[in-house]
A and B are shown apart, each in its own frame.
Chain A
Amino acid sequence: AQKVTQAQTEISVVEKEDVTLDCVYETRDTTYYLFWYKQPPSGELVFLIRRNSFDEQNEISGRYSWNFQKSTSSFNFTITASQVVDSAVYFCALSTNSGNTPLVFGKGTRLSVIA
């Protein structure tokens, strides 16, 4: 069975601090995909990134970076120099069976960035 755990329910940081959101996944498949989505207060989920299981290179996109480590089954998300607009609920998700299964989501981490 596949499972995604986001142990941090809520995080609060002061603007300009760096913050890391943890994601740990479980699957027996060798080919799978990992995702991060952002849900701002408006409610609509926004896709941030997808990573397949064969690509362990870390990725950076502006202030966002992702650290994928198969050895620890983790796919952590770091926001550098956080801003108030980063306040949202962030979800990590997993699709297995070479991407043919529906995404399984974690319970999300609510990030509050305080000015």
Chain B
Amino acid sequence: GAGVSQSPSNKVTEKGKDVELRCDPISGHTALYWYRQSLGQGLEFLIYFQGNSAPDKSGLPSDRFSAERTGGSVSTLTIQRTQQEDSAVYLCASSLNPGGRTGELFFGEGSRLTVL
């Protein structure tokens, strides 16, 4: 499809395991964002990739979280040694240029992570 694609849509894991979440942005979009949505907490910014610039990692909650974007396209968010508080919906978004200037972020449907 032409939209932002995320996988898996649902992931249940045990505490302490590592998980990888994938985001396939819209072709040609240079900016890619990861957000986390917990119940009642709105959207929490995690990390932002813009072209070839160093990513803005200021939102990552701990060093257990990391993300990479290969070839300026697909991105993977990795959570190591998952904890129950990591349970949330992880949303990926992309935009043609930095989202504020371009006017619109396109969001995927999210990956729901449940840590038991």
Residues in chain A within 8 A of chain B (CB atoms): 6, 9, 32-33, 42-45, 47, 50, 91, 93, 95-108
Chain A residues within 8 Å of B35, by CB:
105
Cross-chain contact A50 with B43 (CB below 8 angstroms): no
> Is the Cβ of B101 less than 8 Å from the Cβ of A100?
yes
Q: Kindly provide the distance from the CB of B99 to the nearest chain A CB, expressed in whole angstroms.
A: 6
The prevalent SS among residues of B at the interface is: mixed
A43 contacts across to B, CB distance below 8 A: 89, 109-110
B42 partner, pick from A33, A97, A105, beta carbons under 8 A: A105
B42 touches A44 (CB 8 A): no
Would you call B100 and A100 a contact (CB within 8 A)? yes
Q: How large is the interface on B (under 10, 10 to 19, 20 to 34, 35 or more residues)?
A: 20 to 34
B107 within 8 A of A: yes
Which chain B residues numbered 34 to 82 have a C-beta less than 8 Å away from chain A? 35, 40-43, 45, 48, 56, 59
B40, B100, B108: which contacts A44 (Cβ < 8 A)? B108
Residue of A nearest to B31 (CB): A102
12 additional A-B pairs beyond A42-B109, A101-B100, beta carbons within 8 Å, are A47-B103, A95-B100, A95-B101, A98-B100, A98-B101, A99-B100, A102-B56, A103-B45, A103-B99, A107-B40, A107-B41, A108-B43
